[in-house]
Amino acid sequence: MKKIAIYFLFLFSISCTNQVSNDDLPDSIKNLENLTIYSLDSEPDAEIKFVREQVFTDSDDVLIGNIVGIVVDEQGRVFIADNQQHSILVFDADGNFVATIGRKGQGPGEFQDINAITANSNRLYIFDDTLKRISVFSLDSLMLSSTFPINSGDVNHVEEVVSRLTQIYALGDNRLLVQYEEFPLQERINGPPTQYRHYYMNEIGKFTSDAILQLPATEYLITALDGDPGRLTASFLKSTLISVSQTGDIYTAWSDDFLIKVYDLEGNYLRSMYYPYVNSELDKEVYLEQLDLNQIMYQMYESADYPETWPALHYIFVDDVNRLWVSTINSDENNYTWWVLSSEGRLLATFKWPGQRLNRNIHNLEVIEVKDGKLYVREESSAGGQEIVRYQIEM
C-alpha cells in the first residue's frame, strides 16, 4: 500500500429496497419518522481505483510526528495538525513544504495541545485544549487573525457534571459549531455514556445559541481498583459519530447500529437511514490476550463488563459533494469495510481499507478527507512516523 497504486473492487447499486420487516427492528429504530431501510444485498456494478499519487511527509525542512487532523483548501494545499511538533505544517498540492504555522509555547499563535482543526473559505481554526483557546489564521496570509478563550462556564451546565470542548466545525457563514462533552463529577460503575451538547459560536468566540443538539457521547469502562473508580477507554466501546455537510446537514450515528440520523443546522430532526448490519462477536478472553498491559492495567480491564459484540460503525464523514463515507467493523482484525452512500443513504460503493480494530482510538478515530475527487488519509511512513497520502479516486 506504500509504493504502488491500489485497486479495490466495489459494489455500486442504484436500487434500495425495504427487504427488512419493521417487525424485526428494535423499537428505538422502527418508531423513527422518515426512516428508510436499505437492503444489505447489492450486486457489483462497477470498479473503483484508488491511485496513490502524492505523499505529504518528512523532508529536510520538516518532521511529522503525531497527525491529529488535516484541512485541504481550495488550492489543494494540505494543512497538517501535528501535535508532536505543536504546529500546523503547510504543503502545496505538489507535496512541497510551504510553511509552519505556530510553534510550542503559550504566546499568540503558539500551541501546547492541538485537539482540533477546521476551516471555511478564508479562515483556519485551531483548538488548543491545554491553553483553552481557539486561534484563527487567515488562509490567504497564513497569519494569526485573532485568538479567543474557551470558557466552559459559558455553556449551560447540568448539575453534577463538568463540560469540556472536544470538537469544532467551521461553517460557511463564519460560525463555529462547537461540541462539548459532559462528564459526571462522580463516577459510577456501569454508568450511562457521557453527553454531547452542541452550540453555535461566532467569529469572535461568543456563544450565539443554546444547545441545539444533545446526544450520548462516549462509553467508558468505569472500574474500581482498591475501592477507587477509574475511567478507561477501550477499542470496543460505543460512541456517537458526527459529521457536518457543506449543505448544512448534521449526520449522527450511535456506533452500535448502522443507523444514521440527519438534522438541520438548527438541530431539527429530518430523516434516518438504516442498514441491518450484523455486528462482529467480541471474545473477552481473546481481546485481553491481545492487549499489551501491565498487571495493574490487566486487572482493571479484566474486572470490567464486556459487550457481546463490537460496534457496527467505526467512523463517518461527509465529502465535498455530500456523499457519506461510513466505515464498519467486521471480523477482519486488520481491515475495515467502507461504504459510500448518497446523502439519502443509497449505497454507491463498498471497499476494504487497512485498519486495526484492536487499536481503535475512539477519540481520534481517523484523519481522512475526500475533496475534488481525491482521498487524503493518514498512514504510517516507511521511516516509522506518520504522513498524509493523496489518492486519485477513479470511478
Cβ atoms of 51 and 5 within 8 Å: the answer is yes
| Three cell numbers written together for 56 | 505529504
* Helix (H) or strand (E) run with residue 28 in it: helix 27-30
Cβ atoms of 235 and 219 within 8 Å: the answer is no
172-211 in b/e form (b: 16+ CB < 10 A) is: eeebbbbbbbbebeeeeeeeebbbbbbbbbebebebeeeb
| Three cell numbers written together for 373 | 475527487
- Domains of the chain as residue ranges with CATH: 6-394 (2.120.10.30)
Question: What does the pLDDT look like over 64-111, one tens digit per residue?
Answer: 989 999 999 999 999 999 999 999 999 999 999 999 999 999 999 999
Residue 395, pLDDT score: 76
User: Counting every residue, how long is the chain?
Assistant: 395
Render 90-103 in DSSP notation, one character per residue. Answer: EE-TTS-EEEEE--
Q: Give the full edge-to-edge strand order of the sheet including 87-91.
A: 67-72, 78-82, 87-91, 97-101
Q: Which residues contact 115 (CB under 8 A, 6 or more apart)?
A: 68, 127, 128, 129, 166
What percentage of the chain exceeds 70 in pLDDT? 88
Question: What does the pLDDT look like over 226-249, one tens digit per residue?
Answer: 666 677 889 999 999 999 998 889
Question: What does the pLDDT look like over 262-273, one tens digit per residue?
Answer: 999 999 999 999
Average pLDDT over residues 250-273: 97
pLDDT grade, residue 1 (50/70/90)?
A: very low
Residue 15, pLDDT score: 33
What is the pTM assigned to this prediction? 0.90
| Three cell numbers written together for 361 | 482510538
